[in-house]
Each structure stands twice: as C-alpha cells, then as structure tokens.
Chains A and B, each alone.
Chain A
C-alpha cells in the first residue's frame, strides 16, 4: 500500500527583472508576467493555507486492481490524501488523486451531475453515485470500491454487460398500434398518467440497485430492479394501450421476474434518482394478480 502526500507545487520562476517595455508585444509580456506572478502568489497562499490547516485533507482508501499490470493483479487498497475544498464530491476527490498522484487510477465518469450514470461505486459500504456524494457527509477514511456483485474490470470499473442485458430483456421500447391520424398529431396523455410514470422514467442505468440486491446476487437471471422498473414505465403508460399492457405483465411475470423480489427495499434505498423501485415492483405484482384473475 502506498501513501502519497500532497507535494508543494513549485512554479517555474520567470525572470522578474523588468526592462522598460518598449513595444506593444513587450508590454503584453510584462503584463503577462505580472499576472503570472499574481497567480503564483495566490497559489502559494492557497498552498500555505492548506498546510496550516492540515485536517483539511481527506483520506481516501481506494480499491486497486488490474488483471494485466504486475503488482496490481492482487487486489489492494491505495491511500490518497486529497486537499479538501468546500462542496467536494467523491468524484472530485478521485479526479484530484488521479490527476495529481497516479494517472492510472481508473473509474468511469462523464457528466459530473448525476445524469449519465457512469460512476456508481461502493463508498463506505454503500452504493453511491460518486459525483453526487459529498465528502463532508462521509466518515473518514473514505473507502471507495467497485460495485459489489459485478465483475471488476479494473480499479473502480466493473463490467456492466450483464446489467445492460437485463435492461434490454424487457422489450424496453414504446409499442402501440393506436397512433392518432395525422403526422403532426401527438398521442394524448393526461397529466395524472404522465405523473404516474414520471419517477420510473428517471432511471440513469447506473446499476446501483442491482448491485445492492441480494436476490440478484443469488440468481443471475433475475431481471433486477432497474429492468423491472423499465417494464413498469411502459406497462403503466396508458399510451401503449391495454393489449400491450397484457404482454408487459407476461414479461415481468416470467420465472426470474417480479415474484423473485422479497421486498427488502435495498434497491430503493440506494437509487440516486429516488425511484420507489420496491413500490413499483409491488404494484406490478398486484397488477399481475389482477390480470390473472381476469382469465380464471
């Protein structure tokens, strides 16, 4: 395990000797030097502040693994000390550690605003989106691991293939035969119905729910909360019509569908988009029962 401590960054010092600026170009260069010096001073001040308040660094313990690189084939934890700034998220801290200490530190991320779903991780023992998790809300040291119950590709990156397969197993696309006449005519949907499906449409495919689910861990074929939620999104959308709803219910009633869920609520607890997953699953179970009664 390696422990890195922030280095004081030394700016390369330019010659400060001021010659009389003669040309426009020189004037500009002088101005540039002046501003570089200002920036330098500011940075040194900041560094000094940091040093003075040493408790304002965060200690991260980050899971490391690389199947190819010698010394990383055995999983280990690396420790990074990152200077804390107000509003810092786990993602910010990881990016700082990567860009400052170890450029091989690997994790997915893109939007930085909880919408691309790339950076679900296991932070202090819970599934979290790194970009949405404030360091100040966490106990130190902050332990960052890849999502459990998924195969680790490298460091914090897991293989999402299985998750995607389950998502795509529920015919996750809108289907109806009842389009209104006229190319420019939209289907009508009342506000209540749109409200009903609203939460279910917020899923960002982060995989946190699936990773938290005991059932999914034990039954690899279980559709899992996110895929069932996707099915819910369409089954409850009145624009698809009754017939499609029938078909939707059949899909989620399959052997590895809704009936596997044991209502443990772990998925609902971890979902970064606050989707009431367990409720949705329960509602689908009720709908399925109602539906089956119809045919008795």
Chain B
C-alpha cells in the first residue's frame, strides 16, 4: 500500500495543476496515471486558452459570453470563478516558461474564437495544449512530485453508508500495467479525479483511445451523481477518416466553410447571419450536417474548410500544425486545396457533479477538468474554455484537498436544496444486469475505517482481475464497437426519441454481452487486453447515462437537439440533469441551475449568432 496526503488520478492539464497546487499548499502529493503525464490528451489541444488579459477586455464580458454559450445552463459561481482566475493562471503558465505566440511588443498573442466578444484566446501556435501540458509537467519534475505512471486506477475506496452524502473516500485501487500488481493508494486528505474526456463512447471522435471516462464511471458507481451527461459537443471541423481535429483557430483566423456547390453556407443558407463560420460549435455542426443531409455535402459526407486565402506566411506563422495534421491524416494540402471536414465528438460538457471548489458529494473526493461538471460549460462549451478550466479548477481542487480554507461553496451537491425527482418512464430496463461488476454491499455492518475500506476495495479489484483472466468468454472489442456504433448512429448531433430508445435497447444487449466478457491474454505484463476490458465497462455506464439524459430532456438547448422539441423551454428546463447509480439502478433527478452571480443575475436571452 502507498500512502500520501493527496492522490491525484490523472496527469493531464487538470491533474498536473491540481498536484502542483496541493503541493504548494503543503501536502504530500502523488499522481497516479494510466499514461505517462506527457501522453495525456491535453497535449492534443490546439487552439488556445481564453483569458481576459487586456485592458479593453474584462472577466465580466468573458463570463457573459460563457453563460450565453452555455445556453444558460452554466452555474454562475463556477463561470465567474473561471473568468476571474483564468488571467492570473495564464500568466502563471507564462512565468513557468510556456512558449506562447507573441505580438510585436513581446506580449502573448490572442485570437478570436467562436462565441467570444473579444479576441481573448491566448495561444501557442496551433499546439497550445502540447505546450501547456509539457510546461506543467516540467513544474512537476521541478518540484519532485511523485508520479506513478502506467498505473490504471480501477476503483475508489469509499465507505458504504446508505446516503452518498455521508460517505468518505479514503483512496484508490490501482493496477500496475507494467507488473500486474494491484495496490491500494491511501489518501489521507483527498482524492482528486482528473481523468479527462469520454470520447471513446463514440466512434468518430477527436479524443484519444485512452479517453474512456474512467473517473466519471468510478465516481458514479461510488455514489456521486453524473451531471448533464446528454450535453456532448460535436466539433464542426474534424477530418472525416480519423476524427483528428482541425482547430477552430482556422476559422478564427478567417477560414471559410463551403458546401459542394461552392456556397458559403453559414451565410448563404442563413445559419448564422452575423457570425458565420464563427458561430457557436453546435450551430456550425448542425449546419454542416444539414447541408450534407440536403444533398450539398461532398461525397455525401463532409464539407470543405478553406484557408488558402490566408496566405502561406500567416498560415505558417499561426497554423502550421494544421498543415501537418491535414497532410498526415487526410492527405490534404491546406496551402493549395480546401480541407475536408465533418462534425465529430469532441468534448463532454457533463461529468462528475462538483461545486466550484471541485468537491463532490462524497467527503474527500474531488474532480477537476473535463471529467468534472461544476458547471462551467452548461449545454455548450465555448472553444478555448476547457484549458482555463483545467488550470483554474485544478488549482482550486488541489488547494482544497490539501486543506486550505476556501470559504463556503455556493453550488450545492447531492440531493440537497431544491432537487426534484424525474417522472420519466424509460421503455427499456436500465442499470446493472445482475451477476457481475460492482454489486451492492452485502447489507452487513457499514465499514468506515480507512484500512478496511481500502483493503476491501483492493480485494474486490483483485478478484475481478483474476476472474477476467481465468474465465473463457467473449472479447470486449466487439462490445465496445457495438456501443460506439449505436451512440454515433443515434445519439449524435441530431436526436429523436425512437432512435434514442433504440440505443437504450442496444446498450442493454451490450450489458448482457459484457457479462460474458473475458480476457484472452493470460499475461501479467502490460496486459492491454485487460485494461481495455475494464474500460469498456466504464464506456457502457456512461453511454447509458448519456442516452437516458438525452431522452428525458424534452427540449432543444445548446448541443442537445431534439427532433420533437424544437425550442429551449426555460419554464421547465432551466435545470441540471443528474443520474445516480443507486447500487445498480440508475435514478434520474434534477436540480436548478444557479444564475445568480457575484453582482448580477444572468437573464436567459435567446442565443443567436
């Protein structure tokens, strides 16, 4: 067993920032990550970090844009924290040596991004995430923070009181990929989940193969609700064959979208008469798919993104990385031809329910970064708002977990305050199919002492691994691809009731199939078959919650479009979707959105670009 004050799970932008903050606050910190830190998917971020750095800009404007972008489903205390603290965090990165692009006067460069009223997206070429990730990892090396890399966290060690709000998290259980050893990591003060996105729930995604939503699924099964899972961002410009992202920076610099008839459809077909290509991402994604569905797509699949008119010099200066990506992954030369693009899964607005300090309803359990839902992004995230979320909320969670006094939170977690149960009947049975996985506690005495909780979690994990390795059964890969296929087919940009229900049925079948899953590689050394099999379980739980939320939300808000419900219904739906696992029976409930900020209340307005 390993012991630390704070254990950070995940070493992308959010995890690294959390670890640094916790260490600065005096804690003994360890990071546990299934990938070496520099392999984390934060490294793939291209476009930039939003921060109101300039005199002509203000955090209030940033907050207003973020709220509007969120379609009024962001919680004001979290949104305002993001916008207030992003500038100092960005400058801190600069002080840590991050090589930002520069203006003639030597200051860091900023560019326009979709949905922003000021060009406040601070960038390092088209490789901002790579530079940010490496800069923060350098700080972790400098500080000598312990990193257990290539350790896959399988489960949380949480007490089992009936009410999740009374439970405590004492640590995590992890599997050493290199050696096959399973070990407990005791966290004296707190565990911070920073496990990133869940793009692998879909089959066309900008996310990495490792983005399987593990942290969200672990927290969910331990009793933390998942929040707003139905809100998935589909990025309008991904390469058709691989899902590799072409940054919004291309449109920010002036790139233009054309359909097969050479029309600049964002304007010519009236999707966004003011902002055109730079309208919010959900708007552009729907516009593209509408063009394709109406027969104006190229090869019936994609549209063109043209940046040739920007000229070689500007492209090389600001978007060079895009040229490499288009060339290497689509065989297109961005200097001489338009690039094919289509929408792809990109970002999960929802995730582990937290307050503005990253605390979950379980004592000692925190979450930050893409896996968390504070909520900053509400129904739709603005480009350039995820990277600041990593550093602002990573820092906050790190400090809080290390024991720093931060005051009273304004966002409530768990079933407190004005929560309400949902009255939606799902046509299909959801949840645990029985027989496998994390069954409920046996109803015996509640175990609360840290040692036994952790020990029990380790034993269960060991049993599970032994079982998966020893029995015969089916391979997880077909189950995973069945899930990805139905999710991409039916829970995509356009959603309709019948097909969402069909997906719940498909997921049921996949859950049944998963009961017979087995790992055929018997090795204890670097057994990726085993790791992927464990991840697939997480993908299943997430896909189901996401689809349930999408079915029940009978309105059109932000990224969530419903065929039968073509408008935003503020009367009924200014509320967050929450789904609790409840020992295997997913329960749907709601809580109101918090629109009261520090000095003002954000009034929902119509969202036009």
Is the beta-carbon distance between A186 and B35 smaller than 8 angstroms? Answer: no
Please name all residues of chain B whose beta carbon is closer than 8 Å to the beta carbon of A104 when the two chains form the complex.
520-521, 523, 527, 529
Please name all residues of chain B whose beta carbon is closer than 8 Å to the beta carbon of A183 when the two chains form the complex.
88, 91
What's the nearest-Cβ distance from chain B to residue A3, in Å? Answer: 19
- B208 proximal to A (CB < 8 A): yes
- B522 proximal to A (CB < 8 A): yes
- B135 proximal to A (CB < 8 A): yes
Binary interface encoding of chain B residues 543-561 relative to chain A, with 1 for a CB under 8 A from any of its CBs, else 0: 0000000000000000000
Is the beta-carbon distance between B526 and A153 smaller than 8 angstroms? Answer: yes
Known: A87-B331, A160-B36, A184-B88. A115 touches B44 (CB 8 A): yes
Binary interface encoding of chain B residues 100-124 relative to chain A, with 1 for a CB under 8 A from any of its CBs, else 0: 1111111110000000000000000
Cα–Cα, bound, A188→B523 (Å): 53
Please name all residues of chain A whose beta carbon is closer than 8 Å to the beta carbon of B138 when the two chains form the complex.
172-174
Cα–Cα, bound, A117→B133 (Å): 13
Please name all residues of chain A whose beta carbon is closer than 8 Å to the beta carbon of B605 when the two chains form the complex.
none
Is the beta-carbon distance between B97 and A237 smaller than 8 angstroms? Answer: yes
Which residue of chain A lies nearest to B477 when distances are taken between CB atoms in the complex?
A99
Known: A160-B36, A189-B102. A114 touches B328 (CB 8 A): yes
- B582 proximal to A (CB < 8 A): no
- B99 proximal to A (CB < 8 A): yes
> Which of A110, A164, A168 is B210 in contact with, Cβ under 8 Å?
A110
Which residue of chain B lies nearest to A91 when distances are taken between CB atoms in the complex?
B209
Cα–Cα, bound, A205→B36 (Å): 10
Cα–Cα, bound, A253→B324 (Å): 34
Cα–Cα, bound, A27→B141 (Å): 60
Which residue of chain B lies nearest to A9 when distances are taken between CB atoms in the complex?
B478
Known: A104-B521, A111-B44. A28 touches B208 (CB 8 A): no
Binary interface encoding of chain A residues 97-115 relative to chain B, with 1 for a CB under 8 A from any of its CBs, else 0: 0111001101111111111
- A48 proximal to B (CB < 8 A): no
Cα–Cα, bound, A187→B102 (Å): 11
Which residue of chain A lies nearest to B87 when distances are taken between CB atoms in the complex?
A184
Cα–Cα, bound, A240→B248 (Å): 32
10 A-B pairs with the lowest CB-CB distances in the bound complex, closest first = A174-B97, A188-B106, A104-B521, A173-B138, A173-B142, A99-B477, A116-B39, A110-B208, A103-B529, A154-B526
- B188 proximal to A (CB < 8 A): no
- B38 proximal to A (CB < 8 A): yes
Is the beta-carbon distance between B242 and A87 smaller than 8 angstroms? Answer: yes
Cα–Cα, bound, A172→B144 (Å): 12
Is the beta-carbon distance between A113 and B244 smaller than 8 angstroms? Answer: yes
Is the beta-carbon distance between A69 and B97 smaller than 8 angstroms? Answer: no
Known: A116-B43, A237-B97. A184 touches B106 (CB 8 A): no
Is the beta-carbon distance between B330 and A172 smaller than 8 angstroms? Answer: no
- B359 proximal to A (CB < 8 A): no
Is the beta-carbon distance between A87 and B329 smaller than 8 angstroms? Answer: yes
Which residue of chain A lies nearest to B122 when distances are taken between CB atoms in the complex?
A186
Please name all residues of chain A whose beta carbon is closer than 8 Å to the beta carbon of B91 when the two chains form the complex.
183-186
Within 8 A of B (CB), among A6-35: 24-25, 27-28, 31-32
- B524 proximal to A (CB < 8 A): yes
Is the beta-carbon distance between B97 and A190 smaller than 8 angstroms? Answer: no
Cα–Cα, bound, A28→B505 (Å): 11
Which residue of chain B lies nearest to A133 when distances are taken between CB atoms in the complex?
B328
Is the beta-carbon distance between A201 and B102 smaller than 8 angstroms? Answer: no
Within 8 A of A (CB), among B37-59: 38-41, 43-44, 53
Cα–Cα, bound, A118→B329 (Å): 17
Please name all residues of chain B whose beta carbon is closer than 8 Å to the beta carbon of A113 when the two chains form the complex.
44, 242, 244-245, 325, 329
Cα–Cα, bound, A173→B140 (Å): 9
Known: A117-B39, A173-B139. A154 touches B427 (CB 8 A): no
Please name all residues of chain A whose beta carbon is closer than 8 Å to the beta carbon of B477 when the two chains form the complex.
98-100, 103
Interface contacts beyond A110-B210, A172-B138, A204-B43: sample of 11 additional A-B pairs, CB < 8 Å, sorted by A: A28-B502, A69-B523, A104-B520, A106-B521, A107-B528, A116-B41, A118-B35, A132-B328, A153-B178, A186-B100, A194-B101
> Which of B135, B522, B527 is A174 in contact with, Cβ under 8 Å?
B135
Most A C-beta atoms less than 10 A away, residue of B44, B103, B104, B325: B44
What's the nearest-Cβ distance from chain B to residue A186, in Å? Answer: 5
- B396 proximal to A (CB < 8 A): no
What's the nearest-Cβ distance from chain A to residue B135, in Å? Answer: 7
Which residue of chain A lies nearest to B428 when distances are taken between CB atoms in the complex?
A25
- B420 proximal to A (CB < 8 A): no
Which residue of chain B lies nearest to A190 when distances are taken between CB atoms in the complex?
B106
Which residues of chain A have a CB within 8 Å of any CB of chain B?
24-25, 27-28, 31-32, 66-69, 86-87, 98-100, 103-104, 106-118, 132, 153-155, 157, 160, 164, 168, 171-174, 179, 183-191, 194, 197-198, 201-202, 204-205, 234, 237, 239-240
Most B C-beta atoms less than 10 A away, residue of A87, A99, A115, A155: A115
Please name all residues of chain A whose beta carbon is closer than 8 Å to the beta carbon of B74 when the two chains form the complex.
none
What's the nearest-Cβ distance from chain B to residue A107, in Å? Answer: 8
- B95 proximal to A (CB < 8 A): yes
What's the nearest-Cβ distance from chain A to residue B150, in Å? Answer: 9
- B343 proximal to A (CB < 8 A): no
> Which of A112, A171, A204, A205 is B209 in contact with, Cβ under 8 Å?
A112
Please name all residues of chain B whose beta carbon is closer than 8 Å to the beta carbon of A132 when the two chains form the complex.
328
- B125 proximal to A (CB < 8 A): yes
- B96 proximal to A (CB < 8 A): yes
Within 8 A of A (CB), among B432-488: 475, 477, 481
Known: A103-B521, A197-B99, A234-B97. A116 touches B38 (CB 8 A): yes
- B273 proximal to A (CB < 8 A): no
Please name all residues of chain A whose beta carbon is closer than 8 Å to the beta carbon of B529 when the two chains form the complex.
103-104, 106
> Which of A110, A111, A179, A201 is B131 in contact with, Cβ under 8 Å?
A201
Please name all residues of chain A whose beta carbon is closer than 8 Å to the beta carbon of B141 when the two chains form the complex.
168, 172-173
Is the beta-carbon distance between B501 and A201 smaller than 8 angstroms? Answer: no
- B262 proximal to A (CB < 8 A): no
- B61 proximal to A (CB < 8 A): no
Cα–Cα, bound, A65→B259 (Å): 50
Within 8 A of A (CB), among B316-372: 324-325, 328-331
Is the beta-carbon distance between A110 and B209 smaller than 8 angstroms? Answer: yes
Is the beta-carbon distance between B105 and A194 smaller than 8 angstroms? Answer: no
Cα–Cα, bound, A115→B36 (Å): 13
What's the nearest-Cβ distance from chain A to residue B555, in Å? Answer: 21
11 A-B interface contacts by CB (under 8 A): A28-B502, A66-B525, A106-B528, A114-B328, A155-B526, A164-B36, A173-B139, A186-B95, A186-B107, A204-B38, A239-B97
Cα–Cα, bound, A155→B106 (Å): 48
- B176 proximal to A (CB < 8 A): no
- B389 proximal to A (CB < 8 A): no
> Which of B38, B105, B245, B475 is A205 in contact with, Cβ under 8 Å?
B38
Is the beta-carbon distance between A32 and B325 smaller than 8 angstroms? Answer: no
Cα–Cα, bound, A190→B101 (Å): 10
- B293 proximal to A (CB < 8 A): no
Please name all residues of chain B whose beta carbon is closer than 8 Å to the beta carbon of A67 when the two chains form the complex.
525
- B567 proximal to A (CB < 8 A): no
Is the beta-carbon distance between B106 and A189 smaller than 8 angstroms? Answer: yes
Please name all residues of chain B whose beta carbon is closer than 8 Å to the beta carbon of A116 when the two chains form the complex.
35, 38-41, 43-44, 208
Cα–Cα, bound, A104→B520 (Å): 7
Which residue of chain A lies nearest to B526 when distances are taken between CB atoms in the complex?
A154
Is the beta-carbon distance between B107 and A194 smaller than 8 angstroms? Answer: no
What's the nearest-Cβ distance from chain B to residue A172, in Å? Answer: 6
- B498 proximal to A (CB < 8 A): yes
Cα–Cα, bound, A237→B241 (Å): 38
> Which of A68, A164, A188 is B105 in contact with, Cβ under 8 Å?
A188
Is the beta-carbon distance between B525 and A118 smaller than 8 angstroms? Answer: no
What's the nearest-Cβ distance from chain A to residue B305, in Å? Answer: 17
Please name all residues of chain A whose beta carbon is closer than 8 Å to the beta carbon of B97 when the two chains form the complex.
173-174, 234, 237, 239-240
Is the beta-carbon distance between B242 and A202 smaller than 8 angstroms? Answer: no
- B127 proximal to A (CB < 8 A): yes
Please name all residues of chain B whose beta carbon is closer than 8 Å to the beta carbon of A191 when the two chains form the complex.
102-104, 106
Is the beta-carbon distance between A112 and B95 smaller than 8 angstroms? Answer: no
Binary interface encoding of chain B residues 496-517 relative to chain A, with 1 for a CB under 8 A from any of its CBs, else 0: 0010011001000000000000
